[in-house]
A and B are shown apart, each in its own frame.
Chain A
Amino acid sequence: MKRWIAYWNIMLKDMRTYYLKPPNISWGLIFPVAWTGMFFVKSGRGLESILSLLPGVMAISILFGTTSMLSVTVTFEKKNRSFERLLLAPIPLELLMLAKTSGAILFGTINAFVPVFIGLFLADLSQVQWLTVIPAVVMIAIASTFLGLFIAVSVSEVFEAQTFSNFFRFPMIFLCGLFFPVVSLPVFLKPISFMLPLTYGVDILHGAVQGDNMLPLWVDFLLITLYCVVLFFISLRNIYRKWII
């Protein structure tokens, strides 16, 4: 019980102090809208292209809404030493890191539905399989958050965390099948694509929205879950090794 009070309040504090700030909220709105607009214009087709763009835009919204958050909630707090307070709290490190990430996961999940909400007015979303979309969105949010966590615990400066996360994020837009199918990528880029967790999350979304997934959905789910677990435990190990000196 006591642990959950701590868990809840850590998450709540991060939400209040970092996530629910006007810049983050507007970023969460503007970014997906801008990307949708860009690809919409580029596709040159009518409103029917919305459905094929939706999975990519949702993934981008999640990716940008989560990864950079960890550079504040973790790297910044490590830098100003307030993170030490959390390390001193009588809760297991696993639970602490879940508390530090669940705010970002929630924020990313909500972000994903901003383009969906816009899409509702522009296209017919009746064929979308929501029961697959929702878990896929949550898994993408978890995977991108843990990627952000991995970056945040690997560096010591906030700017490094941000630079490093862009180093991952921008190539992922093009490599993970967000807007261009992975199968159409040059042969030498394909292996990289299959090494990135987002590829599997986006594949599920494509399947759920338009039924054009390249791998069976259970394989996608399995692989992205595996990525989450591995990223989380590598991050924990890095904290043990680097922060408890």
Chain B
Amino acid sequence: MEKKTLTDPIGDGKPFISVERLTKTFGKVVAVDDIAFDVHQGELFGFLGPNGAGKTTTINMLIGLARPDSGTIHIAGSECTRNPKAAQQLIGVVPDESNLYPELSGFDNLCFCASLYGILKSERQHRASELIKTFGLEEAASRKFGTYSKGMKRKLTIAAGIIHRPPILFLDEPTTGIDVASARQIRQLIDDLHHAGTTIFLTTHYIEEAERLCERIAFIVNGKIIAIDSVHNLLQPIQDKKVMIISVSNSAKELHQKLAVKFPHLTFQALSDTQIRVESDQAISVGSLLRFIEDHGAEVTEARRIRPSLEEVFVRLTGIELNIMKKEKEKDKGRNSL
């Protein structure tokens, strides 16, 4: 597959992570299918795709836990396909599942992880206390990791991933399965790390998260990268679209057909029996629409403009309905719409 990198946001020319023609199969399953991408220094790069798309497999190959069938990986100039140890001093990894030691305390876990990178004792302890404070885990610091709640575990796992201040960080679905407040806190931390200059490779199946955090995004489905670009450029084709959602008291399904006849330059879609979606390339004159609806015996309860979002781009490019992403359903293997 051709690289679709458009711009180099840092401008030094050399990508920090460079992947070419990477493929990995497990038996008959092609988990990662001939993908290529670059991540630049200081960039926050998102890997967005449904369950089973190949996100974790890609990360595992990048960090040296899985061996590619073919293709090359360069991280910070080192060839990592044959020598996965080459870049390990530079990378931090936050896996999808917490993998710290359940029988050690939170604090000891952090100190131990720091020692793996050759950090001296006094600095280990200083850094561990600092991170415990950053993540608001002071109360639990001396408790065994095994007794932590899911959100606390995730936070400590992130802390363990950055304890040696790695210039490159891999985050595998950092906000999956935790509550809204913790997820928000984690997103803020990711944003802070990004602004402090860390190069971040983030996988997620939350489109809003990718849109909010990432500078560039790759859509991955069935092991293939379907699109890869900056959020701005991905949004471009639908940028000029005007979209409205009109909520009505009833019979949206009948109304939308009548509307289509009356306003042929607009596109209507009944989302449910009470919601109509209106799309247009030009400005939508709301007044006439609302009057028409009210004249046909329905009451308008709400009308709002919606910003064109990455969700739409994703649906257009992949043909995957959003509820599939949101409900974390197993992907339909046979479907490969692009």
- Name A's B-contacting residues (CB within 8 A): 1-3, 5-6, 8-10, 13, 17, 80-82, 84-92, 244-245
Contact of B119 among A5, A8, A17, A85 (CB under 8 A): A5
Which residues of A lie under 8 Å from residue B65 when comparing CB positions? 84, 87-88, 244-245
Contacts of B95 in A (CB 8 A): 81, 84
Interface centre among B91, B116, B160 (most CB of A within 10 A): B116
Whether A17 pairs with B103 at a CB distance below 8 angstroms is yes
Interface pair A1/B118, CB less than 8 Å apart: yes
Q: Which residues of A contact B97 (CB under 8 A)?
A: 81
Chain B at the A interface: mostly helix, strand, loop or mixed? Answer: loop
- Nearest residue in B to A93 (C-beta to C-beta)? B85
Q: Is the CB of A5 within 8 A of B64?
A: no
Can you report 13 residue pairs joining A to B where beta carbons are below 8 Å apart? A2-B117, A2-B118, A3-B118, A5-B115, A9-B116, A13-B104, A17-B101, A81-B97, A81-B99, A84-B99, A88-B64, A88-B91, A90-B88
Residues of A within 8 A of B160 (CB): 85
Total cross-chain contacts (CB, 8 A): 69
Contacts of A90 in B (CB 8 A): 85, 88-89, 116-118
Instruction: Report if B112 contacts A (CB, 8 A).
Output: yes
Contact with A along B37-67 (1 / 0, CB 8 A): 0000000000000000000000000011111
Q: A5-B120, A90-B85 are in contact. Are A80 and B115 (CB under 8 A)?
A: no
Q: Does any Cβ of A come within 8 Å of B100's Cβ? A: yes
Residues on B with C-beta less than 8 A from A87 are 64-65
Sample of 11 more A-B contacts, CB < 8 Å, known A6-B115, A90-B85:
A3-B118, A5-B118, A6-B117, A9-B115, A17-B103, A84-B65, A85-B99, A88-B91, A89-B117, A90-B118, A244-B65
Q: How far is the CB of A81 from chain B (nearest CB, A)?
A: 4
Q: How far, in angstroms, from A157 to B119 measured CA to CA in the complex?
A: 33
Instruction: Check B156 for interface membership: any CB of A closer than 8 A.
Output: no
Check if B93 is an interface residue, CB within 8 A of chain A. yes
- A1 to B113 Cα, complex, angstroms: 16
Nearest-Cβ distance from residue A189 to partner chain B, whole angstroms = 42
In the bound assembly, the distance between CA atoms of A5 and B93 in angstroms comes to 20
Assess whether B66 is in contact with A85, with CB atoms less than 8 Å apart.
no
Q: How far is the CB of B95 from chain A (nearest CB, A)?
A: 7
Q: In the complex, which of the residues B91, B101, B115 has the most CB atoms of chain A within 10 Å of its own CB atom? A: B115
- Nearest residue (CB) in A for B145 is A82
Assembled-state Cα–Cα distance A9/B95 (Å): 22
Main secondary structure of the interface of A (DSSP, over half): helix
Question: Residues of B contacting A2 with CB < 8 Å?
Answer: 117-118
Q: How large is the interface on B (under 10, 10 to 19, 20 to 34, 35 or more residues)?
A: 20 to 34
In the assembled complex, B102 has its CB within 8 A of some CB on chain A:
yes
Chain A residue numbers with a CB within 8 Å of B89 are: 90
Residues on the A chain within 8 Å of B102, using CB: 80
Name the one of B88, B103, B104, B116 contacting A10, with C-beta atoms under 8 angstroms.
Answer: B116
Contact mask for chain B residues 78-100; partner A; CB cutoff 8 A; 1 contact, 0 none: 00000011001101010101011
**B88 — nearest CB in chain A belongs to which residue?**
A90
Chain B residue nearest in CB terms to A86: B116
- A244/B112 contact (C-beta < 8 A), A6-B118, A81-B97 known: no
- Chain A residue at minimal CB-CB distance from B57: A245
User: How far apart are A78's CB and chain B's nearest CB, in angstroms?
Assistant: 11
| Chain A contacts for B118, CB-based, 8 A | 1-3, 5-6, 90
Which chain B positions have C-beta within 8 A of A80?
Answer: 99, 102
In the assembled complex, the CB of A234 is this many whole angstroms from the nearest CB of chain B, namely 19
Q: Could you say which residues of chain A place their CB within 8 Å of the CB of B84?
A: 244
**Contacting residues of chain B (113-142) with chain A, CB-CB under 8 angstroms:** 113, 115-120
Interface string of B282-308 (1 = CB under 8 A from A): 000000000000000000000000000
For the complex formed, measure the closest distance between the CB of B52 and the CB atoms of chain A, giving whole angstroms: 16
Shortest Cβ distance from residue B91 to the other chain A in the assembled complex, whole angstroms: 8
* Beta-carbon contact of B66 and A244 below 8 Å: yes
The list of the 10 closest CB pairs from A to B, nearest first, reads A2-B118, A9-B115, A89-B116, A81-B99, A90-B89, A90-B88, A5-B118, A6-B116, A82-B99, A17-B103
**In angstroms, how far is the closest chain A Cβ from the Cβ of B112?**
6
The 0/1 profile, CB within 8 Å of A marked 1, for residues 256-285 of chain B is 000000000000000000000000000000
Closest residue of chain A to B120, judged by CB?
Answer: A5
Q: How far is the CA of A1 from the CA of B118 in the complex (A)?
A: 7
* Contact partners of B67 in chain A: CB under 8 A: 244-245
A14 vs B191: C-alpha distance when bound (angstroms): 36
Chain A nearest CB from B87 CB (Å) reads 9
Please, which residues of chain B bring their CB within 8 A of the CB of A13? 101, 104, 112
Contact flags B227-260 to A (C-beta < 8 A → 1, else 0)? 0000000000000000000000000000000000
Give A1's nearest chain B residue, CB to CB: B118
A91 touches B116 (CB 8 A): yes
